[in-house]
Structure formats: structure tokens, C-alpha cells
Amino acid sequence: MMGFRSAVAGVVSCMAMLSSLAASALPVTGVYRGEIYSQPNLINAYSEWLGHNVTLGQGHQAKDSWANIENPTWQLQSWGNWVRAQPGRRLNYSVSMFPSGQGSLADCAAGIYDFRFRALANNMVANGLQNSIIRLGWEFSGNWMPWYSGNGKQASFAGCFRRIVTAMRGAQPSAGFKFDWNPNYDISTADLAATYPGDAYVDYIGFDLYDQGWNGRYPVPSGCTGTCQLERWQNNWNVQFAPALSKFRTFAQAHNKPLSVPEWGVNDARTTGGGDNTFFVKQMLAFIYDPANNVGYHSYFDYQAGDGHHQLSNVDNNGGHSFQTEFPNAAAVFKTQHAALTHPPPSTGAPTAAKATVSAATVTRGAAFQVASSVTAPAATTLVVKYEIRSASTSALVTEKVYASQAFTAGQTRAYTTSFVIPTSLPAGAYRVDTLVYSADWSQTLHYRNDTPFTAN
């Protein structure tokens, strides 16, 4: 984030299959709620609001002095107290490479600051902060950061990263520190490669992403509501965010590293954001909890920063619940979908869907084609059945069909045949069919599969 970080409308349209989620490790849920030294109860209050025990708290180092990098006792002691108060808690720590105006990437890469980071490692362990996730030189692709990697400094950044990791591991080899290499989502593919320090020095490949839009897409005009607003949100996602997520997924897979989303959030219109954007929240949670993306953790930036408002929760600065969010619909979607994804219903008795088939091996854009499948319910129930057509490379939604209020008797199988058209304005290439089955009130995703790829000419 620049500077300091610089009615539920439908349901997430691309969730990971809950049976798969239950069988695999879920991404850890974290949050930024301000520095805990002055407000020690805020993360606990956030957990109460979310209905989920948040075990990953985020803190940010100051950029004003070496003292606040090597041994910020005001910060380390408070976070240590929070971590030790409950088993399983960890600190997600944004660590500065050097103070603003008091260092350089070249000097760091030459090892001049090694002793300072050995001291930091020792001080973190002394305060019980072993096993922390360290966002070293976070958001380094942003020119607002002192350790900005642009302007020909890519190699120096990578070298600096290696030196600091080596120094901290050397000082505390048993501490279990994990290092997150964390640019912004819009870093170029070339800079991804040029600034990467090497697999031996990286535990997570992260990106920060806030719902801001450029080139006239945001802010959404005041008279643009309903379908007009949704189209703005979808367009910004498809143009600005979906390609970036695909880029990071590919890069992380190539290096056999888990992804992370250390900061993400909705954004107010005043700072070029999409406002109360339910679509953004759905898409982000869908990406984060899709096992194919291998996301290790995510941390929502639940904070009203000076350069952008993001807070969804009702947590006030006293640890109470009196705050009124300006994003009520996005907040409702976040809570509902997070609950469904992290506390999936038992698989026993859940409905199932047959693998969808497409009417032709190759589809022609602009012409109708058929998708056929069936859903079976083991018990009498009412369900919502949904079919989506998505880009296979970016997961961008093309079109969808919803069958609401589908009444099933026990053991009944219902067949569905749906006609779709891929617009000629979209590129030829690989697409897929997603099949989703929801509870009647949309509150739970009961079945999901996305294993029907096809080609469109």
C-alpha cells in the first residue's frame, strides 16, 4: 500500500471445491489492525467479528531509524506478548531494509548492514517471535519505498535480500523464520525475474493488491448502479487483476513456492477505488482458497489508512464493536464466504455433479454451444445449480447460468443442458466450464468442479 500501506449480491463464483479444501491445508487467515503495542485487543476483536480465530497478526516496522529496525522494543515486546498468549499464533512482520534516507541497496548487498539484522534476529527470538513470517523489504516494486528496486537497482535488491536472510538465519539458525518476497501485484514479468533472490532465500512469493482502478474505470460514477456498477467492477478485475494473479501463480509454480497475499482490501472511491465492491471480495477469496493456486496465507488490511479506506469489520479503536464500515455489502460477503470456505459442511450427504460435457471439441466464438451435466442429491433438499464459462488461463468470468430453487427428492438426479455463447470480442484459446452447487440460500458451496476444458476458435 502506498505510504503506510500507500445485501450480499450473489456468492463467490469461482470457489475451490470444499471437499478438496477439507482434505488439504487451508490458507492461514491473517489481518492488519494497526500496531498491537497501543491496541492489544484489536485482533481478538476482529476474530470475534469474523467468527474465526485469527492466528496471524501483521505488524510494520518504521522506516525512520536503525534503532527501530534492529530493536524496536515497543513493538517486539507487544507482539511477543500477543503471540505467546495462545498456541499457534505467529507474527507477519514487515521488515525495513534500511531507514529512509540512511542507506542504499548497494551497501546492503555488500554486507554493510549484516550486523544490524543479526541483532534483529536475536531480539526477535528474545521476545518469543520465532517462526515469524518476515516480509523483507515489502512492496519493493513501489517507488514510494526507500528500497525501491527500479531504476536499474534490481540486482542490488536481490543481493540485499540474500544478505539479510543469510544474516538472520546465521544468527538464529533454529528460529524458523520464513521469508516472504513481496512486491506489488503490478510488477512487470521482467522485474519479477530480475529481483528474485533465488529459491534458497525465499519461503513465500507474495503480492499486495487493493481494489483501485485506472484509465477511467474507477471511481464508479455516482449514477452507475446495479448492472452498470457490476460491469465496471468486472472490467477492472479482468483488465487489471486477473492477468496479474495468473502471472504470480505461474511464477510461484515455476519456483515451487507457495503464494501469499500479505495485504489486500477494498478501496474507497476517494482514492480511486471501487467502493463497496462485492465482486472484488468474491474473486479474491475464490483465488486465495483455490487449492490449485497454493496460497499459504492471506492478510486483510482492515484499516482506515490516510491514503485509502479498507476496513470491513465493526472493530473500533478500543477493541469494541461500534465502528460502522462504509463497505457493508463487501463486509457481508467477506464474512459469509470466509465462513463457508474455512468451515465447510461435512462431505457426507453432500450433492454431487457429473463432469460437464461441451457439445463440440472446438467451439466457435459468436456461435451457441451446449454444456450438459447432472446433479445428484442423496437427501431431499432444495439447491442452487450454477454453470460458468471462464478463461482457462486467467479464470476471468465470461458468462454464467443460474438454476435457482431446484427441488430434489432423496437420491434424485436432475440433468441440465445450457446454451452459451463466447463473444467474438474475446480471444480465441482455452476456456473451461465450472460447475457449482449451493445451498438454497446461497450460504454454502456444497460442490464445485472445474475439470471441463475446451477450446474456442
| Catalytic residue annotation | 139, 263
What is the grid cell recorded at 456? Answer: 474456442
Give the H/E segment covering residue 22.
helix 18-23
Identify whether the C-beta of residue 88 lies closer than 8 Å to the C-beta of residue 57.
no
Identify whether the C-beta of residue 39 lies closer than 8 Å to the C-beta of residue 319.
yes
12 vs 111: CA distance, rounded Å: 47
Q: Long-range pairs for 50-53 at CB < 8 Å and ≥24 separation?
A: 50/313, 50/335, 50/338, 51/335, 51/339, 52/338, 52/339, 52/342, 52/343
60 vs 79: CA distance, rounded Å: 11
C-alpha distances (whole Å) from 50 to each of 53, 290, 331, 335, 338 are 8, 20, 10, 6, 8
Half-sphere exposure of 292 (CA within 13 A, CB side): 16
Which of 139, 179, 393, 142 is closest to 296 using CA atoms? 179
Give the H/E segment covering residue 13.
none
The amino acid at residue 299 is S
Looking at residue 361, the DSSP 8-state letter turns out to be S
Tell me if the bond preceding 328 is cis, omega within 30° of 0.
no
218 vs 274: CA distance, rounded Å: 6
Give the count of beta carbons closer than 10 Å to the beta carbon of residue 88. 10
Residue-by-residue DSSP string for 121-182: HHHHHHTT-TT-EEEETTTTTSTTSTT---TT-HHHHHHHHHHHHHHHHHH-TTS--EEEE-
Which of 420, 424, 445, 423 is closest to 435 using CA atoms? 445
Which of 236, 246, 171, 305 is closest to 430 using CA atoms? 246
Looking at residue 236, the DSSP 8-state letter turns out to be H
Residue ranges of alpha helices (H) inside 51-141 are 67-70, 73-84, 105-109, 114-126
